[in-house]
Amino acid sequence: MLGGIEAGGTKFVCGVGSGPSDLETAQFPTTSPGETIDKVIGFFRRYSVSALGIASFGPVDLDPSSPSYGHITSTPKPEWGGFDLLGEVKRALRVPARLDTDVNGAILGEARWGAARGLQDAVYITIGTGIGGGALVGGRVVHGLVHPEMGHLRFPHDVRDSFPGICPYHGDCFEGLASGPALEQRWGKPARELPADHPAWPLEARYIALGLANLAFALSPRRFLLGGGVMQQPHLFAMIREEFARILAGYVRHRDILDGLDEYIQRPQLDYPGVLGALVLAEHAADIGSAQGSHA
């Protein structure tokens, strides 16, 4: 049995199983690190898991050669900056464990069991309290100097929009203009209370389409999956697809874009993509642990 954790800024979702068919989950609010991790450890001690994966909010240090590997780094969330998430869990449960970002976990889960199944190249974007993205390229999630920060893409600030943006680092980056809190501050109401004909939505579709276009040009994925609270608006997908086609202006000549945008830009399929992606990370941790044991 494998264990998975989706560590979010609002809640932790823990799961055990081998996939969607036998997944058992529990949720805990994200409070202080000590209180939250105690509940997480208590959950997993009820089961005999052989390995654990963690798909975490960030930023997180994913460089195994770094002294702060496995730590949450520059998050604005009180008390969590510098917290050794991977180390605390491994020390308590004494099983192989692997850490990645929550959005990388989500694309791994969707690629194994969901809307990106069978694809080697796909991007998952969550648009909610913040904006983040995970990219699968050639069957592997993208890492580099640090993990990708798709929510901080820069693109033209629409001339119709006087809102300065809310990102404390960049002001009017993707997250600063199009996240849930940005919508609420700009219009005075949360996204769920804005009617379908509200002027918020054409502008939101424009900004999301600009973000997707940048990623389409740079990474050339075979599919985009859009999740998060803002994307619960059923009318928004059609608006994004229309705006995306307008921005590309016929430059990318491929049938999936020319004739198949309903599939190219779509919803995730899984109820718990981050937890299920964490199970994929747990598989990798178990494989590494077995290899290390065979060479001991």
What is the structure's pLDDT at 292? 55
**Residue 289 confidence class, pLDDT cut points 50, 70, 90:** low
Q: Are residues 82 and 141 in the same domain?
A: no
For residue 87, is it within any domain? yes
In 95-171, which ranges are E strands? 97-101, 122-127, 131-137, 140-141
123, two tokens: 């991007």
For residue 285, is it within any domain? no
pLDDT tens per residue, range 127-179: 998 999 999 999 999 998 888 999 999 999 999 999 999 999 999 999 999 99
**Residue 123 confidence class, pLDDT cut points 50, 70, 90:** very high
Rank 205-209, 250-254, 286-290 by mean pLDDT and report only the highest: 205-209
Q: Are residues 85 and 207 in the same domain?
A: no
Query: CA dist 233 to 199, 200, 230, 270, 272, Å?
Result: 14, 12, 6, 17, 19
**DSSP type of residue 283:** H
Identify whether the C-beta of residue 268 lies closer than 8 Å to the C-beta of residue 237. Answer: no
**Residues sharing a CB contact under 8 Å with residue 185, sequence separation 6 or more, in sequence order:** 163, 166
What is the structure's pLDDT at 290? 52
Q: Are residues 230 and 119 in the same domain?
A: yes
- Helix (H, G, I), strand (E, B), or coil: what is residue 144? coil
What is the structure's pLDDT at 294? 42
Identify whether the C-beta of residue 275 lies closer than 8 Å to the C-beta of residue 15. Answer: yes
Q: Work out the average pLDDT over 111-121.
A: 97
- Kindly give the pairing relationship between strand 122-127 and strand 24-29: unpaired
How far is it, in rounded angstroms, from Cα 172 to Cα 31? 29
User: 253 is in which domain, residue-wise?
Assistant: 115-266
pLDDT tens per residue, range 222-253: 999 999 999 999 899 999 999 999 999 988 88
What is the structure's pLDDT at 9? 86
39, two tokens: 């509940």
87, two tokens: 């180390």
Q: Are residues 97 and 119 in the same domain?
A: no
How far is it, in rounded angstroms, from Cα 277 to Cα 280? 5
CATH number at residue 18: 3.30.420.40
Q: Work out the average pLDDT over 260-266.
A: 93
Q: Work out the average pLDDT over 30-44.
A: 96
Q: What residue has token string 């999630």?
A: 141
Question: How does the average pLDDT of the chain come out, rounded?
Answer: 94
pTM: 0.93
Q: How many CB atoms lie within 10 A of CB 211?
A: 27
For residue 281, is it within any domain? no
For residue 213, is it within any domain? yes
In 128-234, which ranges are E strands? 131-137, 140-141, 224-227
- When divided into structural domains, the chain yields a total of 2
Q: Are residues 128 and 261 in the same domain?
A: yes
How far is it, in rounded angstroms, from Cα 42 to Cα 14? 11
How far is it, in rounded angstroms, from Cα 137 to Cα 123? 9
